[in-house]
Structure 1
Amino acid sequence: MSPRGSYEALPLHETADGLEYPPSICSPSRRRRSSLPRHPFLSILLPWHWKRPRSWRSLTFLVSALCGILVLATYIVWSVWEPRVQLDISWYSRDWIQNEILPLSPLAGCFEEGSPAHASLGGAYDVADALWTPRTYEVQAGISMRLGMDCYEMAGTIGNRPNRTARPDDWVHPEERRQFHTYWRNDLAGFGARQEQMFRSFFATQDVDRSRLVLWTNGPELAGDPAVKKYVEAFPESFAVRVVDVQALASGTAMEGSPLLDTHDTRAWVDSDLLRLLVIWKLGGTWIDMDMLLTRDLAPLLEHEFVTQWDCWDRSFAAMNGAFMHFRRHSAYLCEAFHLMANSSAPRSPSMDWGAYLYLRLHRRLLAAGVPPFKVLPSCFTDPLMCRLDNRVPEPFAPDRADGRWLGWVWGSGSGMGTWAGRGLWGGGAGTRYVDGDAAETSTEGEDETPAGMDKLDRPYAADGGLEEGGALDRALHKIFALHVHNRWDKQFPENGWIDRLLLRRYDRALEGKAPQESQEL
């Protein structure tokens, strides 16, 4: 017995969280409630009555409720807003940007009459006409047309000039024709069927009596290739093979005698970028990379001097591409380019220092000097592969979709992807066929009276999916001017694929009855 007024301490029990509590008949589950480890972060996020859940079932309910709220919020956000994500991370040297891109040195004076630089033009280039004479067609959009068919539709506004019937007195001397140039380094890869397809596309789509294609090569061997000889014999005044002599081509330019003229790399980037400028300077005309397939007559474009947009995203320092470019003979633009090349650091190898980066540097200097710059064709005109997944042409080296639809897999939304796809998310039920163009067809399923050829958002759909002859893709190819397939020489176009059906077979049909006009005495 303890003395009156004294007491005896009750036994304490240590809990899982390190605290001690006396036993209680009213709280037999205290140990169980305290068995959940406490975390400082949890204590901040959860209200007091959730800090010690009575069971794991309560925690499971909480997690499930949060997941449900997250899913519902995501659905609402996705329904109201459309994400636009572009991931393009490139690393550039800060020193290179500061030394090569940002400085704006003055122009050399190629546009100024009376200057030594202007004298190098030799009177072959009319500056006033090149800069200020109105043109028939507008070829520069001013914005990157990433939505729906906008870029293709702009290409369609540039019309074909009517072809004149060939007459004996219309014969044009080969040197006075529209000049086109391409290049093949025979030491990097052999010349085969894939390379020949560019020739087929050229002679099938261009006016052979008023055009000439010159194949430039680094050695005489290519002239004896059977595939090349075939076109020389078929179009003797419209096709020629020439061996590159950069020293002769650079004569009269700021690059004349420069040791940089012998620059080469294993990818043929630097030397081909140099060659295209030298060739067009010397002879004038249009450069076409060998990995292009032409889709229609290029004549409407040739009133302008231009390069092309690299893709519809406008890369920071590589927004322009020279795979397809046109300048006049002894162009003042090229004169300024050569002065810039001659007074800059040597190009890295391989690099785009004499390609995309050079065009950007020249473009900025022209603007700073108050000279209207050369045009920049929208990317889809010659490179419709380089844009959004929902409006670029299908992969040329992959088989067609089994359902024959063009981009039908993309979820329909405000992006205009229904323009190309057969049915989108907001279209009719399964089996509904929407059409576009003049021939309308009524929907066979569904109770709504949506006009034939339109979805519920008034977007036109492609007839029979869009990959068939006469479908949406076919019409798009008739609006643009070329398809750039980006080398990949080890691959072949699938048999009966859209390239085969909509381009290659048509080239063959066009060439069957195409013969050059009889030549006159040179």
Structure 2
Amino acid sequence: MPRDLTTASDFQELVDRYDTWLFDCDGVIWEGDHVIGKAGDTLQYLRKLGKRVFFVTNNATKSRGNNKGKFDKMGIDCTEEEIFTSAFASAAYLKNVLKFPEDKKVYVIGEKGIEDELDAVGIKRSGGTSPEDNVFVDLMDFSSITSDPEVGAVLCGLDMHMNYKKYARAFKYLRENEGCLFMATNLDSTFPTHGTVHPGGGATVAPLSCALGREPLVVGKPEAPMLESIVQTYNLDKSRMIMVGDRLNTDIAFGNKGGVDTLMVLTGIDQREGYEKEDAVAEPTYVVNALGDLALFDRQPHKRSPSILFDGGTRYDKLTTKRQRGWALVARNAKLLRSIAFASLFLVLLFFWRYQVHVEIQLYSRGWIRNAIVPVRPLSSTCFDPSRIASSAYNTTLAGAPAFVDVHAGIGMPLGRDCYNFAGTLPRQPVDGMILPERTTFHTYWRNDLLPLGDRQIALLHSLLATQDRASTSVVLWTNAASPSALTNLPILRPLLELYGERLEVRRVDKQALARGTPMDGHKLLDMADKQAWVDGDLVRVLVLNALGGVWVDFDTIMTGRDMRVLLEHEWVTQWDCYDKPYQPLNGAMMHFHRDSPYLCEMLHSMASSPPPAKNSVDWGSRLYHKVWRSIIANGHKPFKILPYCFTDGPSCRLDNRLPDPFGDPRAEKRWGSGRWEDVRSKVGNVWAVHLHNQWDKGFPRGGWVDEMILKPVMAQVDGYRNSNSPLEAAE
């Protein structure tokens, strides 16, 4: 039976026994986006002792480089060489062991992690995340299931965009191509995340195995190739090696099959009953409740035990009088130091109890301020010209109508609930007499070359389409892809297109066409882009709103469901945060302007006549809006409005009055108590959106405040939309 480790001596013996430690990650070190307990402390302690540490994961969705990024985000030290993923092991096995032919390629069923590792070793590939393979096929239409004699292997891993076309192509290659290898990164049936489990890589492989009537060559745990690769690469002694994991059928079986001792933690998939039953798939050598337990044992020096002399007498190794005096002096000084430490701590706590400290340090070049910020640029000679406005599509009736709602209180509102309370004074729905656009289009933009569409983006689309007025609103999803079909054919987007019909449209961004007739017409900077999609994103939003009008919403946003129409009497951008940054006060993550607005005309004029923006900067965003706003008021025109920060960006403020971290640990939120939970719910109910500031690698934790207060109510409205006979009937 496995040995339970519960005491300090148990842990000390374990640490002394092994020099090389192999760790699974999911369910051992982290769960989802959160480190489990003090697992990080244990890893740090092992490194201090000079132990070799490797991370062996069956997760094939990420490359070693991407996994390194997750370790960095978690605050866990590691190098890429210490990370062994099943994707990396598969690529290395093909290259180094199987000597995969250079004229052949691998057909991938899986995510980008597999593709990156194959690319790293120079193996050609197809399938995977290719748009050609991530589409549905029509019923009984097999025209796209064609032969490809260059495919010499099919490599399967977890695929979040699985479809029949991928299975059919892989099946065809494996049946028709002589010697075509059938491989799998792993056969994990499930994987844990956010307190639950989801189908894993084994679930992706199973249908293909069923169709073929044979099993794949498995590279990842629990099979031998990955372990042998680690041992041979680093010339390790397996007798001084231990595998730490949470799953019996992969991690523990991995050690059992490879002749390596194992330590099972109970923070993941399997529990004690798994190895206690007679037909257990594997048996660990040791069991511990959590990896972090190893960081908690007493590390004080061991007391000397009696020594047995040759003459049979017993004596104790006593300290000399001099050493005793030395220890006494140390003890007295230690007491003094403890007293000083406690007194200092008390004074610090007293200081923070009496005083509120706010520190924000920003450094700006005086020359930059003098040359780029302080001067007020002249306006163009045409944008506010009455004849130009009269001949344009600008709706002067809407723009000049008296407003029932004032969207700004006139002060910054950084204190307490002021901003949220002010938001609560605005009407919940349009009031009689409001002059509003007959139809409002929400626009958003997705750079198809940066990341695939995911759950976060789908959540935004639902939060717009299911909660905003169905009779008068629609959404245009803009993309830089060569064709809208690159998105419309995606399995993740097609259900929304079917559900919302004409209210959701995908369009390709043609900046040259959108810029015609504007100050940016034919400008050389129209093709400018950067890795963050900041500069081109800022340009696209101004061009789109100038051409069509409406509300721009960045994709790193989630709508709360509050009716946006009450804000549409005005043209506006949003406040950056509650700190009133002097040189960067405005944000365009959400903005509303009418078609051919003179404000947008001035922005385009500034873009065309100013020096080019720095890459990955807000020169065409926050600084542009601020510069144009100052020029407008300097020339005697009424400026566009500025929404208070909390309306759309509640998390961007001080700890005492901002919305909590949207990606925070739900376990910590459960300790808030009903008072704070209801306070957050009240704030969310008063605002219109939550801006997430990119953070694309993060998902909303299940049971967190965003999930409970925004996503679940939104999805309830989606269900209502789906169950209604028509959008018009649902609106009634």
Q: TM-score, normalised by structure 2?
A: 0.49
Structure 2: distance between partners of 1:101 and 1:126: 32
Instruction: Verify: 1:335 aligned to 2:601, yes or no.
Output: yes
Is the Cα–Cα contact under 8 Å of residues 209 and 238 in structure 1 kept in the other structure? no
Aligned to 1:511: 718
- Kindly tell me: are residues 74 and 348 of structure 1, through their superposed partners in 2, closer, same or farther at Cα, counting changes over 3 Å? closer
Structure 1: distance between partners of 2:594 and 2:479: 22
Shift of 1:496: 1.5
Structure 2: distance between partners of 1:78 and 1:255: 53
Instruction: Verify: 1:238 aligned to 2:503, yes or no.
Output: yes
- Kindly tell me: are residues 342 and 504 of structure 1, through their superposed partners in 2, closer, same or farther at Cα, counting changes over 3 Å? same
Aligned to 2:571: 305
Aligned to 2:444: 182
Is the Cα–Cα contact under 8 Å of residues 120 and 252 in structure 1 kept in the other structure? no
Aligned to 1:159: 427
Shift of 1:142: 2.2
Counterpart amino acid of residue 357 in structure 2: R
Tell me the SS of whatever aligns to 2:558. strand
Structure 1: distance between partners of 2:669 and 2:585: 36
Structure 2: distance between partners of 1:74 and 1:194: 42
Structure 2: distance between partners of 1:371 and 1:229: 45
Structure 2: distance between partners of 1:291 and 1:227: 17
Instruction: Verify: 1:344 aligned to 2:610, yes or no.
Output: yes
Name which of 562, 567, 585 aligns with 1:319.
Answer: 585
Name which of 443, 451, 454 aligns with 1:192.
Answer: 454
Structure 1: distance between partners of 2:692 and 2:416: 21
Structure 2: distance between partners of 1:384 and 1:405: 21
Aligned to 1:259: 524
Instruction: Say which one has the larger Rg.
Output: 1
Shift of 1:163: 9.8
Structure 1: distance between partners of 2:488 and 2:345: 65
Aligned to 1:142: 410
Counterpart amino acid of residue 334 in structure 1: L
Structure 1: distance between partners of 2:456 and 2:350: 49
Q: Percent identity, please.
A: 43
Counterpart amino acid of residue 327 in structure 1: F
Tell me the SS of whatever aligns to 1:119. helix
Tell me the SS of whatever aligns to 1:492. coil
Is the Cα–Cα contact under 8 Å of residues 121 and 331 in structure 1 kept in the other structure? no
Is the Cα–Cα contact under 8 Å of residues 183 and 216 in structure 1 kept in the other structure? yes
Structure 1: distance between partners of 2:680 and 2:340: 45
Shift of 1:177: 1.8
- Structure 1 segment 218-297 matched on structure 2, within 5 A: 218-219=480-481, 220=483, 221-295=486-560, 296-297=562-563
Aligned to 2:373: 101
Question: For structure 1, which runs of at least 5 residues remain unmatched after alignment?
Answer: 1-62, 165-174, 407-421, 423-463
Instruction: Verify: 1:466 aligned to 2:676, yes or no.
Output: yes
Structure with greater proportional strand content: 2
- Kindly tell me: are residues 513 and 73 of structure 1, through their superposed partners in 2, closer, same or farther at Cα, counting changes over 3 Å? closer
Q: TM-score, normalised by structure 1?
A: 0.68
Aligned to 2:176: none
Counterpart amino acid of residue 158 in structure 1: L
Tell me the SS of whatever aligns to 2:718. helix
Structure 2: distance between partners of 1:124 and 1:513: 37
Counterpart amino acid of residue 226 in structure 1: P
Q: C-alpha offsets along residues 236-283 of structure 1, whole Å, 9 cap, x if unaligned? A: 221100000001111111111110111100110000000000000000
Is the Cα–Cα contact under 8 Å of residues 213 and 239 in structure 1 kept in the other structure? yes
Aligned to 1:9: none
- Kindly tell me: are residues 256 and 474 of structure 1, through their superposed partners in 2, closer, same or farther at Cα, counting changes over 3 Å? same
Shift of 1:379: 0.7
Aligned to 1:122: 391
Name which of 685, 690, 694 aligns with 1:483.
Answer: 690
- Kindly tell me: are residues 209 and 67 of structure 1, through their superposed partners in 2, closer, same or farther at Cα, counting changes over 3 Å? closer
Structure 2: distance between partners of 1:301 and 1:162: 9
Q: C-alpha offsets along residues 39-58 of structure 1, whole Å, 9 cap, x if unaligned? A: xxxxxxxxxxxxxxxxxxxx
Tell me the SS of whatever aligns to 2:727. coil
Q: C-alpha offsets along residues 17-49 of structure 1, whole Å, 9 cap, x if unaligned? A: xxxxxxxxxxxxxxxxxxxxxxxxxxxxxxxxx
Is the Cα–Cα contact under 8 Å of residues 307 and 377 in structure 1 kept in the other structure? yes
Is the Cα–Cα contact under 8 Å of residues 404 and 466 in structure 1 kept in the other structure? no
Name which of 312, 333, 356 aligns with 1:83.
Answer: 356
| RCO comparison, higher one (Cα < 8 Å, 6+) | 1
Shift of 1:395: 1.2
Aligned residues: 386
Aligned to 1:47: none
Structure 2: distance between partners of 1:213 and 1:160: 21
Shift of 1:304: 0.8
Tell me the SS of whatever aligns to 1:513. helix
- Kindly tell me: are residues 162 and 311 of structure 1, through their superposed partners in 2, closer, same or farther at Cα, counting changes over 3 Å? closer
Aligned to 1:459: none
Structure 1 stretches of 4+ moved >4 Å: 63-79, 126-129
Shift of 1:105: 2.7
Shift of 1:466: 2.9
The root-mean-square deviation of aligned C-alpha atoms, in Å, is 3.1
